[in-house]
Structure 1
């Protein structure tokens, strides 16, 4: 298997992130809110520490990346909803 350059993987991830955000934003508010609540509950690493990530361990890198990804998706959903509201006005 050929190694894929990191820049290509990052671009693919960004495309998927944007698509997910548009799909969530397109949901009816009653269906969207539980998804947004779920993203909100999972956008912070909860490991029992007062300051999560203050003492990094080797296995925390992936968990922190997942948390950051959820945060980015939620932000993109908010941005998309704002765009839609601006377009209606």
Structure 2
């Protein structure tokens, strides 16, 4: 079954997001240590939703989806940046 326009658009957006995430993570990993740790601390403050919103049993509704997605994206960027940094130390 052929993809619809919406499916094609979503696939393209996801691919672009992955590329941008990888580039950002690499840039963070290549920063001088003090600047990198400052930025990773800032990201760390944003990668978990606050005020009990991180309840694993909760089902996010449309209002919750955007902040949850933002928190998850910060988490993925930080994880990749740490991984890139560790691999460059080898």
TM over 0.5, yes or no?
A: yes
Which residue of structure 1 lines up, in the alignment, with residue 22 of structure 2?
18
Ranges of 4+ aligned residues in structure 1 off by more than 4 Å: none
Q: Is the 8 A contact 1:45 1:52 kept in 2?
A: no
Q: Does 1:27 align with 2:31?
A: yes
Q: Please give the root-mean-square deviation of Cα atoms over the aligned residues, in Å.
A: 2.0
Q: Distance in 2 between matches of 1:79 and 1:31?
A: 17
Which residue of structure 2 lines up, in the alignment, with residue 6 of structure 1?
10
1:56 pairs, out of 48, 56, 60, with: 60
Q: Distance in 1 between matches of 2:55 and 2:74?
A: 16
1:50 CA drift (Å): 7.0
Structure 1 residue ranges without an equivalent (≥5): none
Report the count of equivalent residues: 84
Which residue of structure 2 lines up, in the alignment, with residue 39 of structure 1?
43
Structure 2 residue ranges without an equivalent (≥5): none
SS in 2 for 1:20: helix
Q: Is the 8 A contact 1:18 1:76 kept in 2?
A: yes
Q: Distance in 1 between matches of 2:44 and 2:75?
A: 7
1:57-77 superposed Cα distances (whole Å, 9 cap, x missing partner): 431000000000000000000
Q: TM-score, normalised by structure 2?
A: 0.82
